[in-house]
Chain A
């Protein structure tokens, strides 16, 4: 296992379009997180899954954002009707009960 994998690495989209990102966690990890990082800031928590259950959602996750983890393995994060303010690095992380969160390389979203 090579760690947490995110796809795509980069995405440029026009304002108003929908985008979807994928995260494949480390295979034995049952917890999966999505974070967002903008320039000059640390990563900000968006949402958390334990297996397929979405247990926490940040108020940053507006109704245009939806995340799923249908079989408790990979996860997708969809942003509908993208806005310029959505431009950021979207980070996925996974962990099991006793380890620290391991992050993927992120998806850089640019909304033009």
Chain B
């Protein structure tokens, strides 16, 4: 049972355009969401996060939107750059929900290719 789903294995975008990566979750106890970026042969690198009390968080070219009623979040990258080409993982945790768990549950990732 996959609790965090990234239904698009890959995405190609032209340089300068917007990249939108989507993530759905099923566990209503999740209250903190994160996006990580991963290059081959390296560990995931933290990008941006959002708490369930917010619906938007912005950091430079990266914006994460959270729709709790739909159990959906998305990562927007504007403008996309060739260096953004990597695998992007959505992750969620239930740290403040009373479940007492600090583990992150990851999706399978979306491979973003930004074409120059």
Contacts and interface: CB of A to CB of B under 8 A. Distances in A.
Contacts of A58: 103
A105 interface: yes
Contacts of B108: 40-42
Interface stretch (A62-70, A78-86, A95-103): A95-103
A43 interface: yes
Interface string A43-60: 111001000000110100
B102 A91 contact: no
B interface residue count range (under 10 / 10 to 19 / 20 to 34 / 35 or more): 20 to 34
Nearest to A99: B46
Question: What DSSP secondary structure best describes chain A's contact surface?
Answer: strand
Given A100-B34, A100-B49, A43 B102 contact: no
A103 B45 CA distance: 7
Contacts, number: 53
Interface string B86-116: 0001010000000001111111110000000
Contacts of B105: 45
Interface string B34-55: 1010000111111001000000
B45 A56 contact: no
A interface residue count range (under 10 / 10 to 19 / 20 to 34 / 35 or more): 20 to 34
A4 B43 contact: yes
A45 B104 contact: yes
Given A42-B89, A56-B102, A106-B41, 9 more contacts: A33-B102, A33-B104, A35-B104, A42-B4, A42-B109, A43-B89, A43-B104, A55-B102, A103-B36
Nearest 8 Cβ contacts at the A-B interface: A42-B106, A103-B43, A45-B103, A100-B46, A103-B44, A105-B43, A43-B106, A106-B43
